[in-house]
Amino acid sequence: MHKENFKTGYVAIVGEPNVGKSTLMNALLEQKLSIVTRKPQTTRQRVLGILNRQDAQIIFLDTPGLIKPKYLLHEKMIGHAESALADADAILIMTEVSRKNEIPPEVEKILQKASGKPLLLVINKMDTLHRSEILPVIEAFASKEMFKEIIPVSALKRENLDDLLSTVIRYLPVHEPFYPQDIVSEQPERFFVCELIREKIFDEYRDEIPYSTAVECVEYKERSKGKTYIGADIIVERQSQKGILIGSKGEALKKIGQLSRVEIEQFLDRQVFLELRVKVREKWRENESMLKRFGYGVDRNA
Ligand SMILES: Nc1nc2c(ncn2[C@@H]2O[C@H](COP(=O)(O)OP(=O)(O)O)[C@@H](O)[C@H]2O)c(=O)[nH]1
Ligand SMILES: [Mg+2]
């Protein structure tokens, strides 16, 4: 039985690209669930992570960074962030110390969808500032009077995260847990497998390539000898991109396969046989049915 005042709720993490949203969720869960890269716009949909404590179950929703949309894919990404706000009991608006006190218009706009919900500002990357420089940043944001709380953290160095958690819990309703207390997400294993492959592509390729790429796990079979067979398609938009991804004599693709397999095995805690194929689907980022197929479909006003 749970304690009488046990709390359960959804907490959306929203903000600009690259401020550290996925790093924060992983740090809070003490597990790598959401992929992290040095490039913006890595996260494309909402990623659910469940933190189970003695006193609370916090369901975090990591979301794509808020940008001006250029492709239908971007509109879907913003749609995922909006749907996370709609479901949230509390909202973590994430920014980083270098932003001074600016809340960009893309973020302001989406916050209109969150009217009445508690907005907690998380100022990340405080490890990059000298202690004496942090207070003025907090004061500048406080003058906006938009936020119930302002919490400076370093997601990377795991600084001030306990404070963040106890603050968040204050804003959650008293409720029984929604999920069993031994699971960390409801998204299937194969989703995280595809995401890890996508992360390696973000790390290894430049320019438009990572942004033009989707990954689809087409086969996922448990084999008796303890190895899982995973066949995944890497989707690109042009023939020339396919050539670059594969590389001369297939070396580049082989490297992606090796790097991905190591992380997938760590994530699944078992051995994996990974087979990657590269396919061209022209303009998939503008194609409603392909976006849906690759897992990016969402109703804007869900
Ligand atoms: N110095 C510093 N870097 C961070 C911190 N949190 C995240 N980063 C880096 O910022 C980049 C973007 O992080 P990510 O979590 O993918 O950002 P997202 O796009 O908001 O999800 C990565 O290179 C992270 O390692 C932090 O607290 N301090
Ligand atoms: Mg992210």
18 lines ligand 1 (CB under 6 A): yes
Residue nearest to atom 26 of ligand 1 (CA): 125
Output helix, strand, coil percentages for the chain, rounded to the nearest 5. 40, 25, 35
pLDDT in tens, 216-251: 999 989 877 778 999 999 999 999 999 999 999 999
22 Cα to the center of ligand 2, angstroms? 4
Please name the residue ranges forming H helices in the chain: 21-29, 72-87, 105-111, 131-142, 161-170, 189-204, 239-246, 251-268, 288-293
Report the pLDDT value the prediction gives residue 302, as an integer from 0 to 100.
Answer: 40
Q: What integer best gives the mean pLDDT of the chain?
A: 93
Atom of ligand 1 nearest to the CA of 37: 16
98 Cα to the center of ligand 1, angstroms? 13
> How many C-beta neighbours within 10 Å does residue 193 have?
23
Report the pLDDT value the prediction gives residue 42, as an integer from 0 to 100.
Answer: 93
127 lines ligand 1 (CB under 6 A): yes
Residue nearest to atom 1 of ligand 1 (CA): 125
pLDDT at residue 1 greater than cutoff 70: no
**Token pair 């909202």 in the structure block, residue:** 91
Identity of residue 197: I
pLDDT at residue 126 greater than cutoff 50: yes
95 lines ligand 1 (CB under 6 A): no
Report the pLDDT value the prediction gives residue 299, as an integer from 0 to 100.
Answer: 55
Beta bridge partners of 119: 91
Mean pLDDT is lowest, of 94-103, 128-137, 140-149, for 94-103
24 Cα to the center of ligand 1, angstroms? 8
Report the pLDDT value the prediction gives residue 98, as an integer from 0 to 100.
Answer: 87
CA distance 193 to 232: 9
Structural domains in the chain, sorted by start: 7-170 (3.40.50.300), 189-293 (3.30.300.20)
pLDDT in tens, 280-301: 999 999 999 999 999 998 754 4
pLDDT in tens, 19-62: 999 999 999 999 999 999 999 999 999 999 999 999 999 999 99
18 Cα to the center of ligand 1, angstroms? 6
